[in-house]
């Protein structure tokens, strides 16, 4: 199901180099705290131009996997969870994280608007989707489709149909990417699953209380945590 998302165009060179460096970080060959080879070396190793290497490094920085220290080079910051490789191809991780970046921008705003404008009907749609998802998690089931229903109910509570269209369209469906997050959660601890549900509860309370500032912060933190859970094994509770 996940593959659908990635059929639209072949992985860019930068995504491939990103995937190969990520592979070395995952295997522990590039350990947290150690310095990556220089741009010239990486460019030779992977047989690509330096701009492509730079683009891959830029994304790894944005994703919080490496950090540039001024005048010194690029250092590994964190090592993702092992089971990342079980759930998706590494060249897809970069695309996943870019999609999360878009979600952060759109869903934070949508949650705020939903808090301001939600009707009773819209609230009950959100609550029902929330309870369904929480029940499934309680039974050990991680269903991307239920997670998607919850997030779409919030997008729709804005009363602005363009918000849903901004996240889904052009062959992309929210649940494709959620599959990756939930797989990480499933293979993680029970605590992690409980944390996801508790983040959803917080978002629902904010929208119920019509508190736009709360709703925005709660949604943003939820999406940021999802991204971090993927790229950093130490964040497992």
Q: Which residues of this protein are in contact with a second copy, per CB under 8 A?
A: 39, 51, 55, 58-59, 62, 64, 67-68, 70-71, 77-78, 98-99, 101-102, 104-106, 109-110, 113, 117, 119, 159-163, 165-167, 169-170, 172, 202, 205, 209-211, 213-214, 217-218, 220-221, 224, 228, 232, 235
169: region left, alpha or beta (phi > 0 left; psi from -120 to 50 alpha): left
Nearest distance from residue 128's CB to a second copy, in Å? 20
Q: Which is nearer to a second copy, 104 or 126 (CB)?
A: 104
Nearest distance from residue 160's CB to a second copy, in Å? 5
Residue 84, both tokens: 């990342």
Nearest distance from residue 220's CB to a second copy, in Å? 4
Q: Of 163, 126, 165, 162, which is closest to residue 146 (Cα–Cα)?
A: 126
Q: Which is nearer to a second copy, 137 or 223 (CB)?
A: 223
Q: Which is nearer to a second copy, 126 or 164 (CB)?
A: 164
3-state secondary structure (DSSP) of residue 196: helix
**C-alpha to C-alpha distance for 167 and 160, rounded to whole angstroms:** 13
Residue 94, both tokens: 């970069």
Nearest distance from residue 26's CB to a second copy, in Å? 18
Task: Give a three-class secondary structure readout of 21-71.
Answer: HHHHHHHCCCCCCCECCCHHHHHHHHCCCHHHHHHHHHHHHHCCCEEEECC
Q: Which is nearer to a second copy, 90 or 111 (CB)?
A: 111
Q: Which is nearer to a second copy, 18 or 150 (CB)?
A: 18
Nearest distance from residue 169's CB to a second copy, in Å? 4
* Max Cα distance, the chain (Å): 60
CA 201 to chain centre: 19
């Amino acid at each position: 199901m996940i593959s659908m998302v990635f059929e639209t165009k072949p992985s860019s060179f930068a995504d491939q180099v990103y995937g190969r460096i990520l592979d070395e970080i995952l295997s522990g060959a590039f350990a947290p705290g150690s310095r990556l080879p220089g741009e010239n070396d990486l460019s030779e190793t992977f047989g690509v131009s330096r701009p492509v290497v730079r683009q891959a490094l830029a994304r790894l920085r944005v994703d919080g996997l490496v950090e540039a220290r001024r005048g010194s080079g690029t250092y590994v910051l964190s090592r993702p969870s092992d089971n990342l490789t079980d759930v998706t191809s590494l060249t897809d991780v970069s695309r996943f994280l870019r999609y999360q970046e878009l979600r952060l921008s759109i869903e934070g705003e949508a949650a705020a608007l939903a808090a301001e404008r939600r009707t009773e009907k819209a609230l009950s749609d959100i609550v029902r989707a929330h309870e369904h998802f929480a029940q499934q998690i309680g039974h050990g089931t991680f269903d991307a489709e239920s997670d998607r229903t919850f997030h779409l109910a919030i997008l729709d509570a804005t009363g602005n149909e363009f918000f849903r269209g901004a996240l889904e369209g052009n062959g992309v469906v929210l649940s494709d990417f959620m599959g990756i997050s939930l797989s990480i959660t499933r293979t993680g601890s029970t605590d992690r699953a409980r944390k996801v549900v508790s983040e959803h509860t917080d978002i629902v309370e904010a929208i119920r209380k019509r508190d736009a500032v709360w709703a925005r912060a709660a949604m943003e933190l939820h999406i940021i945590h999802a991204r971090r859970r993927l790229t950093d094994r130490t964040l497992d509770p």
